[in-house]
Amino acid sequence: MSVKKDFIVPVLVLSLICIVVSGALAVMNGLTHPIIEAAAAERAEAAMNAIIPDAAGFVELGNEGLPDSIREAYAAENGVGYIFIVSVNGFSGDVKVIVGIDPDGRIMRSSTLQHTETKGIGTIIDQDSFTGRFEGKDSNLEGISAVTGATISTNAYIHAAREAFAAFEVVNSGR
């Protein structure tokens, strides 16, 4: 065999394998993408219903005019409140928080959706003992302060609540 043939045949075989595998991955992605999207939508709906259980469904408001940290904004169809999904910087990365605010401007409930904070210390933002402090608070967040040892993580959560109130002011003023 010549040097050209020793080089070209393996390259062609590997190229063919790559094309076949890429095609198979594309087909699998096409099949699983709708299922994954539907599961994500169900999880989002469940999270929103946990924040505002009395809501009769939600209408997406869009992000126009809202702070950059607001990823999604919704209004309850029956007018019982608003949902804001906020993403802010924490100690180890983004902290994604969902905040429900009633029409009078008080937090109904809030919860951490996702984060990469330090296990043990930063995960206080997952605990009801911390997130429960926000219920019933208005935009002043009176009595809410960072937790020693988890200052950056808890300050990120507090910042997320403030950003939700900034979005609420925009939405409540009719944009």
The predicted model scores a pTM of 0.77
Residue 9 lies in a domain: no
Residue 126 lies in a domain: yes
Residue 6 lies in a domain: no
Q: Are 117 and 125 in contact (CB under 8 A)?
A: yes
Residue 35 lies in a domain: no
Residue 20 lies in a domain: no
> pLDDT of the chain along its 175 residues, tens only?
566 777 888 888 899 999 999 999 999 988 888 888 887 778 778 888 899 999 988 999 988 889 999 999 999 999 999 999 999 988 888 889 999 999 999 999 999 888 877 777 777 788 888 889 999 999 999 988 888 878 888 999 999 999 999 999 999 886 4
pLDDT of residue 69: 92
Domain with 74 in it = 58-172
Q: Are 133 and 39 in contact (CB under 8 A)?
A: no
**Which of 63, 60, 26 is CA-nearest to residue 41?**
60
- Total number of domains in the chain: 1
**Which of 44, 117, 115 is CA-nearest to residue 85?**
44
Residue 103 lies in a domain: yes
pLDDT of residue 104: 94
* Residues constituting the chain: 175
Q: Are 51 and 74 in contact (CB under 8 A)?
A: no
Residue 26 lies in a domain: no
Q: Are 56 and 49 in contact (CB under 8 A)?
A: no
CA distance 75 to 62: 10
Q: How many CB atoms lie within 10 A of CB 54?
A: 11
Q: Are 161 and 110 in contact (CB under 8 A)?
A: yes
pLDDT of residue 39: 79
Q: If you ran DSSP here, which 8-state letter would residue 117 be given?
A: P
Residue 158 lies in a domain: yes
Q: Tokens in use for 16? A: 């063919």
Q: Are 128 and 111 in contact (CB under 8 A)?
A: no
CA distance 110 to 102: 12
